């Protein structure tokens, strides 16, 4: 094969006269099948012809991110040593939680030895995304350097959006200590209802607390969608978002790369990172849950006496590798800022980060990999043993702004123990969701449904569960609960609810009925003394049985004795 450098010199003069778009078309059509080394020689040769001219980019996406491909880092240290194809069915990931990753979609796109050189490789723009203050402790500092085709500031002015699904005016909402439960949010039908609803349009606010402008509090939402976001992106300036898909797979484009997320997995998007949610292949709709924390970041919980392993292992978290699209098309970028929704227009795709390094990145986690900790002797431990992620409070150690807790399939082996969750009044607020199957503490909790047990409002198993789990005649055999996957958002705050949550038709108005049939337990049941011989008033020997019963009056417990002659 001809030397790449000779080939590049032969076409440099001709390419220098072409427009940037024409150069990209040339590379996409003529250089098909060439190695990245050849492409890089041509790119560098073209870019050095005129220092003021922006270098061309190889667009491997054929105008569509869904069916295109890009070379990505396969997490082996260098894109030069390995590659993968980012298609709709196969995506590579970086492994680890909170790691500092380095990844590039084109070889040599990451600057060597510094963050912002005078001229970045390929003429890219260096842009840092800071998720914490510059002076935050190093262990908690979050930031990522992006090397992109155009800087993020290349957009039109922000415009306010009237149709805002994020209801964050919590002061106007009502407090309610009632225990509540909701049926699944229906997925809108594109056929029957003849409407297209994307991820943002399909958001429904359940409630929240605090002030996003003050970076304090949180919001809880549901989503139900039936279409892709298309040429529309979103970033949240108010907080970090945790998505729990319940039905339907998602293909999520982010500035750091692509993630495929399915039910049984969760996705975390850091504050400020742009993303776009599309339906997975062959999906007609999707729904799930969203938790937004206005303060802090999600972290792995401390393990304490558990040791160095268990719960959610860091190696099982997956972050995207660099992927980009170079498309000059009208794009809309939506922004959540101070609880309000804004939009700005761009003339290109914002997903044009060719390389990046840092520890502020989206990530996903498969809940099926969670390592359960449980009692192997007696008693039912606190649900904190199922914590996947925590957003700790800066004010009080050990108290969380919000915890994400999962109740996965697991063995229950405690002897002489009421194995379902016990009856409880909690200073924390518990919002629960059901991914699939059924909950082991009560009936009627449907997949896609939700429940809320406010701070200090009593809750626990329903009557049927209590009776079945209290049956002492049942042998205490080990039981594997594999009939469902539930989760909980547990927060230190009292939540305020939207009118649609408290008055909507998907609220179960009969929820309290599940506890109505819990019967009063007899503290002093009737007792019977063994038969014995006694003399009757006539002097004859008789056999008597004495029954003792207790009644209650203003004087306290009063025993009453009766006997029966046999």
Instruction: Give SS3 for 216.
Output: strand
CB 82 within 8 A of CB 321: no
Tell me how far apart the alpha carbons of residues 270 and 378 are, in angstroms, rounded to a whole number: 40
Provide the β-strand partners of residue 400.
392
CB 418 within 8 A of CB 460: no
Quote the DSSP letter at residue 507.
Answer: B
Annotated binding site for homogentisate: 439, 459
Which residue among the candidates 100, 357, 380, 524 is catalytic per the annotation?
380
Provide the β-strand partners of residue 410.
481
Active site residue 155: no
Provide the β-strand partners of residue 391.
402
Tell me how far apart the alpha carbons of residues 156 and 57 are, in angstroms, rounded to a whole number: 24
What stretches of 212-339 adopt beta strand conformation (E)? 216-225, 232-236, 240-247, 250-254, 257-261, 265-269, 275-279, 286-293, 317-320, 331-337
Classify each residue of 227-265 as buried b or exposed e, where b means 16 or more C-beta atoms within 10 Å of its C-beta.
bbbeebbbbbebbbbbbbbbbbbbbbbbbbbbbbbebbb
Instruction: Give SS3 for 437.
Output: strand
| Span between the terminal Cα atoms of the chain, in Å | 113
Tell me how far apart the alpha carbons of residues 67 and 514 are, in angstroms, rounded to a whole number: 50
Tell me how far apart the alpha carbons of residues 72 and 78 are, in angstroms, rounded to a whole number: 9
Strand 232-236 relative to strand 331-337, pairing: parallel
Annotated binding site for Fe cation: 424, 430, 459
Annotated binding site: 424, 430, 439, 459
Dihedral pair phi/psi, residue 53, rounded to 5°: -85, 130
Q: Count CB neighbours of 59 within 10 A.
A: 20
Gyration radius from the chain CA atoms: 31
Q: How far, CA to CA in Å, does 546 sit from each of 310, 520, 523, 565?
A: 59, 26, 20, 9
Length of the chain as a residue count: 566
| Cα angle: 214, vertex 210, 225; to 5 degrees | 105
- Cβ within 8 Å of residue 409, ≥6 positions away: 480, 481, 482, 483, 484, 485
CB 150 within 8 A of CB 125: yes
List residues with catalytic annotation: 380
């Amino acid at each position: 094969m001809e030397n790449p450098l000779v080939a590049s010199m032969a076409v440099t003069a001709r390419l220098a006269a072409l427009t940037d778009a024409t150069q990209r078309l040339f590379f996409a059509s003529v250089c098909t099948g060439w190695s990245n080394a050849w492409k890089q020689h041509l790119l560098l040769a073209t870019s050095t012809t005129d220092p003021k001219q922006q270098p061309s980019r190889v667009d491997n996406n054929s105008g569509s991110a869904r069916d295109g491909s890009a070379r990505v880092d396969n997490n082996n240290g260098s894109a030069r040593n390995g590659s993968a194809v980012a298609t709709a069915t196969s995506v590579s990931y970086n492994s680890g939680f909170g790691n500092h990753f380095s990844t590039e979609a084109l070889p040599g796109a990451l600057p060597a030895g510094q963050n912002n050189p005078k001229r970045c490789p390929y003429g890219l723009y260096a842009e840092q995304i800071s998720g914490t203050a510059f002076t935050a402790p190093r262990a908690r500092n979050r930031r990522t350097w992006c090397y992109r085709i155009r800087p993020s500031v290349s957009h039109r002015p922000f415009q306010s959006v009237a149709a805002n699904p994020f209801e964050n005016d919590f002061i106007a909402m009502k407090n309610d200590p009632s225990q509540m439960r909701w049926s699944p949010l229906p997925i809108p039908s594109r056929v029957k209802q003849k409407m297209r609803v994307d991820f943002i349009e399909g958001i429904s606010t359940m409630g929240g607390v605090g002030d996003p402008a003050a970076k304090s509090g949180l919001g809880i939402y549901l989503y139900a969608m039936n279409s892709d976001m298309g040429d529309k992106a979103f970033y949240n300036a108010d907080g970090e978002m945790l998505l729990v898909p319940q039905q339907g797979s998602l293909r999520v484009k982010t500035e750091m790369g692509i993630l495929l997320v399915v039910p049984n997995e969760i996705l975390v998007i850091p504050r400020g990172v742009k993303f776009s949610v599309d339906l997975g292949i062959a999906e007609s709709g999707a729904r799930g849950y969203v938790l937004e924390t206005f303060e802090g970041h999600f972290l792995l919980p401390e393990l304490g006496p558990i040791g160095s392993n268990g719960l959610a292992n860091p190696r099982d978290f997956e972050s995207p590798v660099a992927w980009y699209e170079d498309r000059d098309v009208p794009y809309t970028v939506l922004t959540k800022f101070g609880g309000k929704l804004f939009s700005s227009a761009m003339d290109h795709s914002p997903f044009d980060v060719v390389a990046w390094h840092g520890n502020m990145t989206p990530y996903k986690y498969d809940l099926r990999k969670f390592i359960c900790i449980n009692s192997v002797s007696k008693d039912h431990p606190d649900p904190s043993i199922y914590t996947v992620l925590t957003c700790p409070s800066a004010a009080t150690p050990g108290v969380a702004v919000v915890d994400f807790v999962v109740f996965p399939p697991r063995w229950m082996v405690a002897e002489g123990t009421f194995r379902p969750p016990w009856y409880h009044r909690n200073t924390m607020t518990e919002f629960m969701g059901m991914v699939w199957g059924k909950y082991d503490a009560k009936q009627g909790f449907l997949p896609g449904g939700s429940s809320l047990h406010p701070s200090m409002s009593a809750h626990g198993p329903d009557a049927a569960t209590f009776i079945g789990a209290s049956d002492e005649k049942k042998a205490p055999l080990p039981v594997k609960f594999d009939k469902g996957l539930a989760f909980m958002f547990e927060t230190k705050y009292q939540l305020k609810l939207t009118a649609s949550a408290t008055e909507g038709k998907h609220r179960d108005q009969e929820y309290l009925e599940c506890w109505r049939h819990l019967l009063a337990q007899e503290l002093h049941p009737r007792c019977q003394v063994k038969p014995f011989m006694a003399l009757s008033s006539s002097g004859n020997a008789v056999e008597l049985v004495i029954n003792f019963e207790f009644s209650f009056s203003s004087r306290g417990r009063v025993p009453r004795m009766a006997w029966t002659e046999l």
